[in-house]
Amino acid sequence: MTEKFTAAQWAEIEGGHEVTPDKEESYSFLKDLHESRMTKDNGNAKKLTYTDCGERAYLTLLALETMRQYPDFKAYVQRYAKKTAGFELYKMYRIMGTDLYNFIYFLVGDSSAQDKLKDPDSAKRMRASTKLPTAAINRYINAVAQGKTPVQVNSMFMAIESAIKVSNSDYKAIRRNLANFARLTKAEKRLISTRLIFAVRAKLRSSDIIEDFEKFAAVKNLEKASVVDPEPTVSTPDISTSSRDLALYRYLVGDKNLALTKKFLEQAKNGKAASANMVQAYLPAIEMLDDIVKAGPAFIQNLRALHKRAKKD
């Protein structure tokens, strides 16, 4: 039996108009179409960090831009853009919106948007320091929705990379090659497409774009079997280096180590190597963890319980 929409969902579908029984029957299939949505309002967003939302919005745009390079897939990209366009201020969560719309809503919406995420406090601190280029993103989405060729696409992606601090070299390589896609050889196109396929499967597995992107990759024979999948599937934590958190880190590493501890955390979050000085500054925290491990299983269990309490607080 098909699950019924809520009153709020019907209101969004019908623009606030009354839903008659015949319309309800005609819409019943829509519930099934949205069962696998990543941002469907059933608690799925609670699995996502602010960092996850930024990365997944970026990958969704890369996937759309890749498909847009092929004439026989432009119609799908246009339909997706139309579903995303029209609500450019991202003031509210939209259950019938695309995952891309809702990712951007979580990134630029008010504090109630971040309240829906895995770690609301860290998300709000990151939101305060993140300047997502929404105007450029909206220009891109609107142009594609109207069947036009978007302009300054590479500049948009670079601005997003800067805003959400993309450090993955494969993602950046995909973006650079998309800017010159028409000049790439078939082998080069397959290589960057394969890297993007891996990223989409890992990070957008239950999204509203995955099925069509997988179909696109298969039809165009874009996946190279010899390329090794480098993608982790775990969520990326929102590691904060706010002044408040650093003030508390002082109790773990000491005053003299705060500046380098901040650098260490930033490097770790971005997947970059840390210098010996940075590691040395963070060493007191590592030594504390090492002491707990050496003390035995009971102490480790206590630490895990404390960690769970801290995450819920």
| pLDDT score of 44 | 77
Q: pLDDT band at residue 207, thresholds of 50, 70 and 90? A: very high
Query: Does 229 reside within a domain?
Result: no
Mean residue pLDDT across the chain: 82
Q: pLDDT band at residue 294, thresholds of 50, 70 and 90? A: confident
Using one digit for the tens of pLDDT, what is the confidence trace for 241-257?
666 676 777 778 887 77
Which is higher by pLDDT, 224 or 231? 224
End-to-end CA gap in the chain? 39
Q: Rounded to an integer, what distance in angstroms lies between the CA atom of residue 60 and that of residue 99?
A: 9
| Mean of pLDDT values over 132-141 | 97
Last residue of a domain, one of 219, 235, 261: 219
Q: pLDDT band at residue 270, thresholds of 50, 70 and 90? A: low
- Whether residue 105 has pLDDT greater than 50: yes
Is residue 185 located within the same domain as residue 281? no
Is residue 196 located within the same domain as residue 284? no
Query: Does 227 reside within a domain?
Result: no
Q: Per mean pLDDT, which of 160-164, 280-284, 301-305 is the most reliable? A: 160-164
User: What is the pTM for the complete model shown?
Assistant: 0.66
- Whether residue 232 has pLDDT greater than 50: yes
Is residue 142 located within the same domain as residue 178? yes
Q: pLDDT band at residue 305, thresholds of 50, 70 and 90? A: confident
Query: Does 228 reside within a domain?
Result: no
Query: Does 302 reside within a domain?
Result: yes
Domain count, the chain: 3
Cβ(49)–Cβ(122) below 8 Å: yes
Q: pLDDT band at residue 129, thresholds of 50, 70 and 90? A: very high
In terms of Cβ atoms closer than 10 Å to its own Cβ (0-12, 13-18, 19+), residue 193 is buried
Question: Chain-centre distance of CA 247, in angstroms?
Answer: 29
Is residue 295 located within the same domain as residue 213? no
* Tokens (6 digits) for 227: 């390329």
Is residue 265 located within the same domain as residue 208? no
Is residue 200 located within the same domain as residue 66? yes
Tell me the C-alpha to C-alpha distance, in Å, between residue 244 and each of 111, 122, 248. 18, 11, 7
The residue among 43, 163, 39 whose CA lies nearest residue 106 is 39
Q: pLDDT band at residue 7, thresholds of 50, 70 and 90? A: low
Is residue 6 located within the same domain as residue 58? no
- The one-letter amino acid at 160: I
| pLDDT score of 131 | 95
- Whether residue 29 has pLDDT greater than 50: no
Which is higher by pLDDT, 53 or 255? 53
| pLDDT score of 27 | 41
Is residue 134 located within the same domain as residue 83? yes
133 φ/ψ angles, rounded to the nearest 5 degrees: -80, 70
The residue among 44, 84, 206 whose CA lies nearest residue 214 is 206
Cβ(213)–Cβ(67) below 8 Å: yes
Planar angle of CA 102, 104, 108, nearest 5 degrees:
120
* Containing structural domain, residue 6: 1-33
The residue among 63, 86, 87, 89 whose CA lies nearest residue 76 is 63
The residue among 68, 62, 55 whose CA lies nearest residue 150 is 68
| Mean of pLDDT values over 285-299 | 83
Q: Rounded to an integer, what distance in angstroms lies between the CA atom of residue 200 and that of residue 193?
A: 10
| pLDDT score of 243 | 66
Is residue 58 located within the same domain as residue 154? yes
The residue among 58, 33, 108 whose CA lies nearest residue 236 is 58
What SS3 class is residue 208? coil
Query: Does 38 reside within a domain?
Result: no
